[in-house]
Amino acid sequence: MRASDFYELVSGRRRGLAAAAARVGLALLEGPYRLGVWWRNRRYDRQPAAVRRVGVPVISVGNLTLGGTGKTPMVRWVARRLRANGVRVAIVSRGYGASAQGPNDEALELEQSLPDVPHLQNVDRVTAAEAAINELATQAVVLDDGFQHRRLARDLDIVLIDATAPYGFGHLFPRGTLREPLGSLKRADVVCLTRANLVDAAARLRIRERLQRLAPHTIWCEAEARPTRLLEAIEDAGPYDDAVRDVAEARSLAGCRVVAFSAIGNPAAFYETLQSLDAQVLERVEFPDHHRFTADDIARLAALAERLQPEALVCTHKDLVKVGVATLGPTPLRAVAIDVVLTVGEADLTRRLEAIAQQALADDPWQEQLAYAVSEDKPSETGTAEG
């Protein structure tokens, strides 16, 4: 089932007897899933020793729902703030969609936009974090999609809530899109409402009031995902060269006839972005989340472009890094770059990150080792160092 079909079904927008029967079946499966989530959270709540600390600050960016909520732009935003404070940062993630051939699309996108921030992917994220510290001298770890990964202790838990579907359609997976109950927000330190510009002020206030009743101690933020630039792939890029480059401002899509395709968790958000840019979308093609494009996929898209004669094929940055070409046939391929802009709560979140940065720099275990190594090489007061 395509992601958009699943959302249509669980949201109730798909009507009819077959859709109603499918929702009943999914509701029967929701119970076992809920029990599993409850049991897992109970274990960590009652066994603090099961949670591992790794010796440097850990900042988690996660969510409560399936699909895209804007995690990658927020991970990039957090990492850049830490780097601006002089902290050596590494990103750690599970690596959904990664393979023996290389990292997944999210890692490739972050690698291009954060060339000085290593990204480690491992199902065992504690092991990945320890490797980042011991092998890369990392002073702080950003845990991508980490809210449900409770084995790695964190110093700041940022949870993103999509303003267009904040409550997962009222149900846990598979009947809805909640990964765990809304009450789990009590573990959060920061709740950030993403895509806040896609709902009106009254709706934002209602969401804020409800969620802050569940987690009154949290910092509240609101963010917009703003399309800023169009990117194209650099086909002859070497292993240490930039793989994409800016070619135009995103608003240049206004009035353009395009074919859009995506392989992301929430394709509707991408199409809403194109609509906000006033692009004329002739056709939409969806692939599963983290899909690795094959030669047949590329041929299919090229044939579609030949038939419809768009001015461009358009995808997300995550898709572009996997396709890796500047054109499909004679048709240009462009990706829309998204930046996150905090419109509410930026000062409070920045202060928390600056405090964590100061802690990371003060507690850096590598500084002590370096000081010891230097002292060993210094001449003594009564003679000179040997060797």
Per residue in 119-131, pLDDT tens?
A: 999 999 999 999 9
Ligand-binding site membership of 68 (annotated): yes
Q: Smallest Cα–Cα separation from 192: which of 340, 312, 39, 316?
A: 340
Ligand-binding site membership of 67 (annotated): yes
Ligand-binding site membership of 327 (annotated): no
Q: How confident is the model at residue 29 (pLDDT cuts 50, 70, 90)?
A: very high
Ligand-binding site membership of 387 (annotated): no
Segment 176-182 shows an average pLDDT of 95
- CATH domain 226-339 topology: Rossmann fold (3.40.50)
Ligand-binding site membership of 72 (annotated): yes
Ligand-binding site membership of 69 (annotated): yes
pLDDT at 324: 86
- CATH domain 50-225+341-366 topology: Rossmann fold (3.40.50)
Count of CB atoms within 10 A of residue 250's CB?
23
Residues 121/93, Cβ–Cβ less than 8 Å: yes
Q: Residues near 258 by Cβ (< 8 Å), separated by ≥ 6? A: 274, 279, 280, 281, 282, 310, 311, 312, 313, 314
Q: What pTM, to 2 d.p., does this model score?
A: 0.85
Q: How far apart are CA 135 and CA 126, in angstroms?
A: 14
pLDDT at 366: 66
Q: How confident is the model at residue 385 (pLDDT cuts 50, 70, 90)?
A: very low
Type of residue numbered 305: A
Which residue pairs, CB below 8 angstroms and at least 24 apart, start in 166-173?
166/193, 166/207, 166/211, 168/64, 168/65, 168/66, 169/10, 169/11, 169/12, 171/10, 171/27, 171/30, 172/30, 172/33, 172/34, 172/37, 173/30, 173/33, 173/66
Count of CB atoms within 10 A of residue 224's CB?
18
Q: Smallest Cα–Cα separation from 360: which of 84, 71, 73, 110?
A: 84
Ligand-binding site membership of 378 (annotated): no
Query: Is the pLDDT score of 367 beyond 80?
Result: no
Segment 252-270 shows an average pLDDT of 91
Taking the alpha carbons of 119, 341, 362, 63 in that order, is the dihedral positive or negative? negative
Query: Is the pLDDT score of 115 beyond 60?
Result: yes
Residues of the chain with CATH 3.40.50.300: 50-225+341-366
Ligand-binding site membership of 71 (annotated): yes
Query: Is the pLDDT score of 224 beyond 70?
Result: yes
Query: Is the pLDDT score of 365 beyond 70?
Result: no
pLDDT at 161: 95
